[in-house]
Structure 1
């Protein structure tokens, strides 16, 4: 038996935001702040609402746009918004082009992304000025993306995905303690690499990390496989009092914890974040598609929509992941990019 009310699993009209993949939701001072990958990959946007179900109708503000050329001129991916020491930070990935390089053992394609940081010291991140803090030096130059950050016991950490020249695959997950929100204080430590069958379907990928500290443990979710029906979420777990920079502190689940559910019409759930209800319940935020057949380049299919549902916990304090909830809002199935208000 579990100690949760299943009637509360769905906390919002789903999807909460149409055509915004890699969703990140931060609850701060009674409001939800939302960002995610724009389907044109050319900007970073923010929305704010008092309820998750109001984010779709909320005004979308562009806080940053890609450069006309250079290392931040293409494929702006997976922004995340964080609040650290009274300031706002957005971590995101950008590339100098849309080409791929042939430098990964056992693979034939890797993009050229690196991780960058924006800072805003104003109270209101939708109105204040965003300053570029530049690229995060992760220790070596290679495909890097999907940075997330968390603070634990007074220290800020960065977790991100990056390709390593000596490791087969497209990306592994790394962690480091930070000196400030745009500078690492320690060397990168590998936490996980693609190794199980479910992580290596289509692509050898560990990416999209997110961290939840609860009940004396640290839960680190991530996503693996190609971004179609096989895309799924994995889990690493550590004791909250352990050395989080020691790979031995982490236990990796051999099976994915959150997968496609044809009965619910949800495919490829992943690249999640965590937020909370007003009552303090944990909310799982993620993206998924409603169909499996994609016309043309999957990168140009805009219909990975942002979704949210309460994440219950059992009596032992373990997450009860369940499966994606069905949609309660109409969703598009064409490759047309909707206007920000989602009318179609």
Structure 2
């Protein structure tokens, strides 16, 4: 299940992922973050503005219900290469199981001149305001990739502020391979940690790094030790990335991500603990050995 996103509702964890060829946004449930039961599609009905490439869903709860932000290819909006742009839509459900429904005739946000928009991630700030961070899909069309952020209305369905370009992460590091994507923001002790994936998602160099800021909207400073999660040479897993973070009932922090198995035939879901040492996050993985259950 590529591009995993995990949320907890009561005593159940929900994992949503990119389409699997049979289902739009397949999801699974678990009681312990280890044993998962596949449930099927969280969005059985396709939105009007798109009909393919359903990627990278994230879900949060607002006054509107359970709100899903997702990436899909527009029927009408074109990117510089001439084909349909990937854009971000929003869908709503009464339950985390769905069905999520997007009744809009157009996406929530799209940046066609910058290649499109993908990988939206929802952020609840310390003042309880809701924000969306996403990236332009510039790597489709030889355009620089950047992160952008915008405050949402309380229900999470519309924007309540202007778009802000996030300063500091500018895909200029060799390990990033000219692509930064999959942003995830975590706040701890007055510091915002912007985790992100970089490089070619289909290859060994794909990895996870982070940047820090004292303000949600930046500017951010790249960590010198990046990447902090990378392939295990010869053994695997390979190309770990598109991370998300989840706290267990004991307050321990876990990173859930996908990685390729040895034959590169599919991306599997992995989970490793994240600890902070001197204010720096350390991912305890990829760990191919048995480890304690969260």
TMscore range, shorter length: 0.7 to 0.9
Kindly tell me: are residues 74 and 138 of structure 1, through their superposed partners in 2, closer, same or farther at Cα, counting changes over 3 Å? closer
Query: Could you tell me how far 1:118 is from its partner in structure 2?
Result: 0.9
Kindly tell me: are residues 133 and 147 of structure 1, through their superposed partners in 2, closer, same or farther at Cα, counting changes over 3 Å? farther
Kindly tell me: are residues 80 and 208 of structure 1, through their superposed partners in 2, closer, same or farther at Cα, counting changes over 3 Å? same
Q: Deviations over 1:40-87 (max 9, x none)?
A: 2751222222111121xx14131214649x641111111112223472
The 8 Å contact of residues 42 and 66 in structure 1, kept in 2 or not, is answered as no
Per the alignment, residue 137 of structure 1 pairs with 109
Per the alignment, residue 170 of structure 2 pairs with 193
> Higher RCO, 1 or 2 (CA under 8 Å, sep at least 6)?
1
Q: Does 1:285 align with 2:247?
A: no
Query: Could you tell me how far 1:21 is from its partner in structure 2?
Result: 0.6
Q: Does 1:40 align with 2:2?
A: no
Query: Could you tell me how far 1:268 is from its partner in structure 2?
Result: 0.4
Per the alignment, residue 39 of structure 2 pairs with 60
- Per the normalisation by structure 1, the TM-score is 0.72
Kindly tell me: are residues 112 and 139 of structure 1, through their superposed partners in 2, closer, same or farther at Cα, counting changes over 3 Å? closer
**Structure 1: where are the runs of 5+ without partners?**
1-19, 104-108, 295-300, 329-344
Distance in 2 (CA, whole Å) between partners of 1:133 and 1:171 is 29
Distance in 1 (CA, whole Å) between partners of 2:159 and 2:101 is 19
Q: Does 1:304 align with 2:267?
A: yes
Query: Could you tell me how far 1:231 is from its partner in structure 2?
Result: 0.5
Query: Could you tell me how far 1:173 is from its partner in structure 2?
Result: 1.2
Per the alignment, residue 235 of structure 1 pairs with 210
Per the alignment, residue 31 of structure 2 pairs with 50
Per the alignment, residue 298 of structure 1 pairs with none
Distance in 1 (CA, whole Å) between partners of 2:22 and 2:222 is 32
Kindly tell me: are residues 326 and 264 of structure 1, through their superposed partners in 2, closer, same or farther at Cα, counting changes over 3 Å? farther
Q: Does 1:318 align with 2:290?
A: no
Q: Does 1:157 align with 2:135?
A: no
Of the three residues 182, 191, 203, the one matched with 2:157 is 182
Give 3-state SS (helix, strand or coil) of 1:198's partner: helix
Distance in 1 (CA, whole Å) between partners of 2:138 and 2:233 is 35
The 8 Å contact of residues 43 and 99 in structure 2, kept in 1 or not, is answered as no
Q: Deviations over 1:169-192 (max 9, x none)?
A: 363211111124132222222223
The 8 Å contact of residues 58 and 69 in structure 2, kept in 1 or not, is answered as yes
Aligned length: 278
Q: CA RMSD in A?
A: 2.8
Distance in 2 (CA, whole Å) between partners of 1:218 and 1:32 is 24
Equivalent runs, 1:255-294 vs 2, <5 Å:
255-262=226-233, 264-291=235-262, 294=264
Distance in 2 (CA, whole Å) between partners of 1:184 and 1:281 is 32
Query: Could you tell me how far 1:159 is from its partner in structure 2?
Result: 0.6
Distance in 1 (CA, whole Å) between partners of 2:142 and 2:111 is 19
Of the three residues 107, 112, 120, the one matched with 1:147 is 120
The 8 Å contact of residues 139 and 188 in structure 1, kept in 2 or not, is answered as no
**Structure 2: where are the runs of 5+ without partners?**
none
Q: Deviations over 1:127-163 (max 9, x none)?
A: x553315421356664111100011112111011114
The 8 Å contact of residues 137 and 183 in structure 1, kept in 2 or not, is answered as no
Distance in 1 (CA, whole Å) between partners of 2:13 and 2:274 is 17
- Per the normalisation by structure 2, the TM-score is 0.84
